[in-house]
A and B are shown apart, each in its own frame.
Chain A
Amino acid sequence: MGQAILTAVVVDDEAALTLEELARACAVEPEWVVQHVRTGILLDDAPEHSGGWRFTSADLVRARRLCQIERTFEANDDVAALVVDLSEEIRRLRGKLNAAGVK
């Protein structure tokens, strides 16, 4: 094909996103992210990072789900967080079932 191979980086560790990058990836204002970190909905148990907040792949997925629930249902952020928490728990348990070979 002669096509250039694009270099992809995994959004984790050194390549974790900054506040502005996360906001852009979610198509929200940076204030949205700040508010969700301040209320503990995002980065709740993340270690303090010397260079400011850093967001991993899991944070990005979570933030996008939160946005979607808030927009679709005009839900307040706590309700959206509860929905996303439950959804993450379902996915975690399904992963365990799958690993155990339970259909």
Chain B
Amino acid sequence: MEYKDYYQTLGVAKTASEEEIKKAYRKLVRKYHPDVSKEADAQKKTQEINEAYGVLGDAEKRAAYDELGRGQQYRAGQEFRPPPDWGRGFGGNGGFGGDDAMGSDFFADLFANLGGGRRRQQAPRRGEDSHASITIDLADSYHGATRGISLMVAERDAQDRIVTRERTLSVNIPKGVTAGQQLRLSGQGQPGAAGPGDLYLEIQFRPDARYRVDGRDVYETVPVTPWEMALGGEIEVGTPSGKVTVTVPAGSQSGRKLRLRGRGIPGKEAGDLYLLLEVVLPPAHTDKQRELYQTMAREMAFNPRAGG
């Protein structure tokens, strides 16, 4: 595994005070907040920042992490192996700080050793709920589907150490789900003495160049020829629910929106499908093609900027 320099992640000195670490962390959270950040890797950065603060923001974990770096000067990315007795004497808090981010392998291995001193007698507790997201195709929402998802889960082994492993689940995606909706999987969260918690999965749609989704409404740009626009007629269009034949009204212009009621994402109140007509000009490569355009220019005497 690779050594991660959490101080470097937060941009603070190894001697930084709690207050300095907190300040640096908050500044970076704001900088990489997905709603405001223009950085391409904002999400990944946020995860790294949270992981680093999960350790450096906790006096006990920070001490354990510092002990690790003492003696040998590890650099970020360097191959690293913790000493066999590393972490002895520290009491972990029995779980990872973040909820979504289970942290990197480095983080997991680092704290795999921090479990021994934890046992405190208390009533058996239900495991915590977990949160993750699942990316599906728009068509999955139209028809329902079964999709696999891999999760990194942390659990205790027979020696009461925290270990991580990859867990693959097959999940039914109910028909009609929309982006942002939460799926609840009962009993699939973290284990606990009084039963496991639940797993929540947030629905995300895989970007699709053909479709744009807003709530239950779906938008699709449809290329149309100039004569289909001018003269009107029936055209066949591929939609998320299959091919449909729609009538282009005569005299349509680019940008015209045709609404197909109820052909958006299905549900009690199904969304609508909007077809945005966009005229595409045929090329004028050959003599014949150019001649046709010249005839139009001559015969139609049309100036779209007249009066402008």
Could you tell me which A residues sit within 8 Å of B by CB distance? 1, 3-12, 15, 24-25, 27, 57-58, 60-61, 64, 72-73, 86-87, 90-91, 95-96, 98-101
B212 contacts A98, C-beta separation under 8 Å: yes
A8 contacts B213, C-beta separation under 8 Å: no
A57 contacts B180, C-beta separation under 8 Å: yes
Query: Given known contacts A27-B99, A57-B181, what 14 new A-B pairs fall within 8 Å (CB)?
Result: A1-B168, A3-B170, A5-B171, A8-B183, A9-B186, A10-B183, A11-B200, A25-B131, A57-B182, A58-B180, A61-B180, A61-B182, A61-B202, A95-B215
Q: Range of interface residues on chain B?
A: 35 or more
User: What 0/1 readout, one digit per residue, does chain B (109-141) give for beta carbons within 8 Å of chain A?
Assistant: 000000000000000001011010000000000
A60 CA to B99 CA, complexed, in Å: 14
**What total count of A-B pairs have CB within 8 Å?**
91
Interface SS of chain A = helix
Q: Which residue of B lies closest to A9 (CB)?
A: B184
User: For window 166-191 of chain B, which residues contact chain A by CB distance below 8 Å?
Assistant: 168-174, 177, 180-186, 188
A58 CA to B215 CA, complexed, in Å: 12
Q: Which residue of A lies closest to B215 (CB)?
A: A95
A5 contacts B146, C-beta separation under 8 Å: yes
Q: Which residues of A contact B171 (CB under 8 A)?
A: 5-6, 8
B214 contacts A6, C-beta separation under 8 Å: no
Q: Which residues of A contact B200 (CB under 8 A)?
A: 11, 25, 60
B219 contacts A99, C-beta separation under 8 Å: yes
A98 contacts B214, C-beta separation under 8 Å: yes
Q: Which residues of B contact A15 (CB under 8 A)?
A: 184
**Given known A6-B171, A8-B171, A27-B129, contact A99–B212 (CB-CB < 8 A):** yes
**Given known A5-B146, A25-B198, A60-B200, contact A10–B182 (CB-CB < 8 A):** yes
B202 contacts A5, C-beta separation under 8 Å: no
B267 to chain A, nearest CB (A): 10
B286 to chain A, nearest CB (A): 32
Decide yes or no whether B197 CB sits under 8 A from chain A: yes
Q: Which residues of A contact B276 (CB under 8 A)?
A: 101
Q: Which residues of A contact B148 (CB under 8 A)?
A: 1
A100 CA to B212 CA, complexed, in Å: 8
A8 contacts B201, C-beta separation under 8 Å: yes
A103 CA to B129 CA, complexed, in Å: 36
User: What 0/1 readout, one digit per residue, does chain B (83-112) give for beta carbons within 8 Å of chain A?
Assistant: 000000000000000010000000000000
Q: Which residues of B contact A61 (CB under 8 A)?
A: 180, 182, 202
B129 contacts A99, C-beta separation under 8 Å: no
A–B Cβ pairs within 8 angstroms, 13 of them: A1-B168, A5-B172, A8-B201, A10-B174, A24-B198, A27-B129, A72-B26, A73-B29, A86-B35, A95-B214, A96-B214, A99-B213, A99-B217
